[in-house]
Amino acid sequence: MGEGSGDGVSVIIPAYRAQDTIARAVSSLLAQSFPRWEAVVVSDDGTDYRAVLEARGIADSRLTFTGTGRVGSGAPAARNAGLRAASMPLVAPLDADDRFEPDRLARLAPLAAEQGAAADNVAVVRDGDGSLLSTLFPPDAGVAALDAAAFLETSVPMFLVVRRDVVPGWEECVNFCDDVVFNVQVLDRVGRLPLVLEPLYEYRQRDGSITCSADSGARADLCYRHVLKRLDGDGLRIADDSLRRRFAAALEAKRALNAAYMAAHEAGRCANFQEFLALRENSLPG
Q: What is the pLDDT of residue 1?
A: 34
Q: What is the pLDDT of residue 4?
A: 39
Q: Are the C-beta atoms of residues 244 and 238 closer than 8 Å to each other?
A: yes
Q: Are residues 98 and 239 in the same domain?
A: no
Q: Are residues 179 and 163 in the same domain?
A: yes
Q: Are residues 270 and 200 in the same domain?
A: no
Q: Are residues 180 and 79 in the same domain?
A: yes
Q: Are residues 97 and 157 in the same domain?
A: yes
Does residue 89 fall inside a structural domain?
Answer: yes
Does residue 2 fall inside a structural domain?
Answer: no
Q: Are residues 157 and 279 in the same domain?
A: no
Residues of the chain with pLDDT under 70: 1-6, 207-214, 274, 284-286
Alpha carbon distance 124, 205 (integer Å): 7
Q: What is the pLDDT of residue 281?
A: 74
Q: Are residues 189 and 216 in the same domain?
A: no
Query: In which domain, by residue range, is 237 found?
Result: 211-283
- Alpha carbon separation from 251 to 43, 155, 180, 245, 281 (Å, rounded): 31, 11, 10, 10, 20
Q: Kindly report the length of the chain.
A: 286
Give residue 11's Cα distance to chain centre: 12
Alpha carbon distance 194, 185 (integer Å): 16
Q: Are residues 196 and 219 in the same domain?
A: no
Q: Are residues 225 and 139 in the same domain?
A: no
Q: What is the 3-state secondary structure (H, E, C) of 239-282?
A: CCHHHHHHHHHHHHHHHHHHHHHHHHHHCCCCCCHHHHHHHHHH
Alpha carbon distance 178, 190 (integer Å): 18
Does residue 1 fall inside a structural domain?
Answer: no
Give the CB-side neighbour count of residue 1, counting CA atoms within 13 A. Answer: 11
The 3-state DSSP composition of the chain as helix, strand, coil percent (nearest 5) reads 40, 20, 40
Number of domains in the chain: 2
Q: Are residues 93 and 168 in the same domain?
A: yes
Which is nearest to 18 in space by CA: 59, 61, 78? 78
Does residue 91 fall inside a structural domain?
Answer: yes
Q: Are residues 59 and 156 in the same domain?
A: yes
Give residue 284's Cα distance to chain centre: 28
Q: What is the pLDDT of residue 3?
A: 38
Domain boundary among 210, 242, 274: 210
The CATH number of residue 84's host domain is: 3.90.550.10
Domain boundary among 163, 195, 210: 210
Report strand pairing: 90-93 vs 9-15: parallel
Alpha carbon distance 170, 227 (integer Å): 13
Does residue 116 fall inside a structural domain?
Answer: yes
- Strand partners of residue 121: 199
Domain boundary among 210, 232, 256: 210
